[in-house]
């Protein structure tokens, strides 16, 4: 189980090595993604709160990165955070997510990115439920529900 202390350690000192890397040109990403998907996943944008049906979807399944298909989250770790974005307590495995310190917009946060293709996913906060106390607040437009 990943803890907030480990998240901060990864963000400050380097992330776990991914199983593989996917690298594409800007042109290739534009061809693959819609304008909104590109804005969020490749330009670190944020979708409007409560704009996705994924917020209220709690059936079993696996969530992957929309850009490269890397498995990111199991629905058993999903919870209703009331924030308007899908939220999870843990990634599917330690090296699925990479972390960056994010001090933009006058806030100190930790950005979460796909460790395989560097797609912006959202942010992680130390205010979640359960043993880990983490809340991975994800942009639904950057996720694909596999099952």
What amino acid positions are annotated as catalytic residues?
137
Q: How many CB atoms are located within 10 Å of the residue 138 CB?
A: 27
- Are 72 and 60 in contact by the 8 Å Cβ rule? The answer is no
- Are 100 and 121 in contact by the 8 Å Cβ rule? The answer is no
């Amino acid at each position: 189980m990943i803890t907030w202390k480990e998240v901060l350690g990864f963000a400050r000192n380097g992330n776990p090595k991914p199983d593989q890397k996917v690298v594409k040109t800007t042109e290739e990403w534009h061809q693959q993604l819609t304008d909104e998907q590109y804005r969020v996943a490749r330009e670190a944008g944020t979708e409007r709160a409560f704009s996705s049906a994924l917020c209220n979807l709690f059936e079993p399944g696996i969530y992957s990165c929309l850009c490269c298909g890397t498995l990111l989250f199991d629905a058993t770790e999903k919870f209703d955070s009331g924030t308007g974005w899908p939220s999870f307590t843990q990634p599917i495995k330690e090296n699925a997510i990479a972390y960056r310190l994010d001090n933009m917009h006058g806030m100190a946060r930790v950005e979460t990115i796909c460790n395989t293709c560097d797609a912006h996913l959202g942010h992680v906060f130390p205010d979640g439920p359960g043993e880990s106390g983490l809340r991975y607040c994800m942009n639904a437009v950057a996720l694909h529900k596999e099952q």
